[in-house]
Amino acid sequence: MIFTVAIDGPAAAGKGTISRGVAARFGFAHLDTGLLYRAVGVKGGDPILAAKSLTSEDLARADLRSLHAGQAASKVAAMPEVRAALKDFQRLFARREGGAVLDGRDIGTVICPQAEVKLFVTASAEIRARRRWLELGGEGAGAIYADVLAQVRERDDRDMNRADAPLRPAADAVLLDTSALSSDAAVAQAVALVAARLGRADL
Ligand code: CDP
């Protein structure tokens, strides 16, 4: 069976948790496409060359989730040649046998416009920054909330205003605002949507 779930949205909206939950529930493969851009961003040298020659070691680096990697990712992600170099891999993944969940910024709009389910996950910038701040270890780890909020806003701005594949919901995407939802509730809503589309409402 070919079945793609496209999950897009801004930084720290809950895409990762929802994607992992949906993939586990239906036995689909999951690709966090942000990791590709993060790996290109931190690799150094020419980003286009880096995107064309990404290795599994690049994708296993321990620092890919850092704030620095997020900022570096959103800079290289504005380059059309970088996006083009990563496109085929994502498209093949999306249409692999057995079902796939991809999360990112342009999955429903550019990578897989034919996706069977499209979700656009959002939450207020303050709530997203707080979640990212807690993920980074909060005050105990020396993370500064105001800095995290500023970086989230800067990245959103760059992602929404770039010319190539800007962050925006596909016309047929279902919007899911997770501001007031627990992660379990957000996953449950996404699972219900996928189940309905699969025609297996008993799942
Ligand atoms: O986890 P978080 O939502 O903070 O970020 P991410 O999904 O890891 O993405 C990091 C950066 O990569 C984003 O800010 C985008 O600039 C870029 N990105 C993109 O342009 N297209 C994608 N499909 C995924 C990520």
Query: Following DSSP, what letter does each residue of 98-142 receive, concatenated?
Result: T-EEEEESSIIIII-TT-SEEEEEE--HHHHHHHHHHHTTTGGGT
What residue spans of the chain are helical by DSSP H?
Answer: 15-26, 34-43, 47-52, 67-76, 80-94, 125-135, 145-161, 183-198
73 close to ligand 1 (CB < 6 Angstrom)? yes
The answer to whether 83 touches 77, Cβ cutoff 8 Å, is: yes
Segments of the chain with pLDDT less than 50: 201-203
Q: How many other C-beta atoms can be found within 10 angstroms of the C-beta atom of residue 29?
A: 14
Question: Using a 6 Å cutoff on CB, does residue 159 contact ligand 1?
Answer: yes
Q: Is 102 in the pocket of ligand 1 (CB under 6 A)?
A: no
pLDDT of residue 203: 45
Please, which residues have CB within 8 angstroms of residue 176's CB and are 6 or more apart in sequence? 18, 119, 120, 121, 122, 186, 189, 190
* Residue 108, C-beta contacts closer than 8 angstroms, at least 6 positions apart: 6, 8, 115, 118, 119, 120, 169, 170, 172, 173
- Structure token digits, residue 175: 């919007």
Taking the C-alpha atoms of residue 150 and residue 53, their distance in angstroms, rounded to an integer, is 32
Whether residue 117 contacts residue 8, with contact meaning beta carbons closer than 8 Å, is answered with no
Q: What are phi and psi of 175, to 5 degrees?
A: -85, 135
Mutate to test the pocket of ligand 1, among 42, 54, 74, 149 (most ligand atoms within 8 A of CB): 74
- The reply to whether ligand 1 has any atom less than 6 angstroms from the CB of 86 is no
pLDDT tens track for 13-67: 999 999 999 999 999 999 999 999 999 999 999 999 999 999 999 999 999 999 8
